[in-house]
Amino acid sequence: MPDTSRIEAFPSTEAWAEAAADRLAAALGVAMAKRGRALFAGAGGSTPSPIYRRLAQADLDWSRVTVLPVDERHVPESSPDSNAALLRRTLLTGPAAAATLLPLH
């Protein structure tokens, strides 16, 4: 794992999202290697969305990953304000569609 005790600057949102997604994918891979499964707890909102889109393409056994929102609003998943819906739209696509979403309500 990279040294996370320093501040890094990136030339673009794309570079930032790619670096963050790579770190998250590495952490998920380590968890699966150690425990056979991994848990990904993700925030909602527009800030992490570019990271989730990149992370969705990671070469992982997504069937062994459980995803849950950490800051879900008390709205149905059909609401545009639902963070679980945001995770479905941005992270649980492509290879990552095999992950299990565990909504908070």
Residue-wise pLDDT for 50-67, tens only, equals 999 999 999 999 999 999
Residue-wise pLDDT for 2-60, tens only, equals 666 789 999 999 999 999 999 999 999 999 999 999 999 999 888 999 999 999 999 99
Domain ranges of the chain: 13-101
Annotate the chain with DSSP letters as a single string: ----SS----SSHHHHHHHHHHHHHHHHHHHHHHHS-EEEEE--SSSSHHHHHHHTTS-S-GGGEEEEESS--SS-TTSTT-HHHHHHHHTSSGGGGGSEE----
Evaluate if residue 105 carries a pLDDT over 80: no
Evaluate if residue 83 carries a pLDDT over 80: yes
Please state the pTM of the whole predicted model. 0.88
Instruction: Report domain 13-101's class.
Output: alpha beta
Token output for 38: 């991994």
Supply the pLDDT for residue 71.
81
